[in-house]
Amino acid sequence: MENVVLTVHLLLALALIGVVLLQRSEGGGLGLGGGGGGIASGRSAASALSKVTWFLAIAFIITSLGLTVIAVRNSASGSVVDRIGISDIPADDLVAPLGDTDTLLPPTEQGDLPLVPSAD
C-alpha cells in the first residue's frame, strides 16, 4: 500500500512541476513576461492550466498526508535509539571516569608532572 501511494505521490510531483512550468508568467518579475498570442489565447488556457494545477496540488497534499498516516501506523513504539540498541551499552563504557587521570597523561621517568609549576 505504501509503495502505491508513494508512486502516485512521485508522479503527482512530476506532473505538478510540468504544469507549473507550462504556465505563462503573468508577473514579469524578472522582465521575462510572456509574449503575446499563440495557438491558445490567453485567458482560457490560463484558467484550464490553473484548474489542473489546483487539482494536482490538492492531490499532492492528500498523498502527503496519506504517507504520513501510513508511516505513523508502521512505526514501532519507542525511539530509534531503542531499536538500534545503543541503550544496552553501559554508561561506564561510553565516558571515561572523572577521577582517572592515569589514562589521560602518559607516565614519565621522574614520576607524574605537577599540575601547577612551583614558584621556587
Instruction: Output the pLDDT for position 85.
Output: 63
10-residue mean pLDDT profile of the chain (120 residues): values are 93 95 69 53 70 95 95 74 62 56 53 56
Instruction: Output the pLDDT for position 15.
Output: 96
Instruction: Output the pLDDT for position 86.
Output: 60
pTM for this predicted structure: 0.52
Query: Which CB contacts under 8 angstroms, 24+ apart, belong to 64-71?
Result: 64/9, 66/5, 67/2, 67/5, 67/6, 67/9, 70/1, 70/2, 70/5, 71/2
Instruction: Output the pLDDT for position 73.
Output: 85
The residue length of the chain stands at: 120
Instruction: Output the pLDDT for position 99.
Output: 58
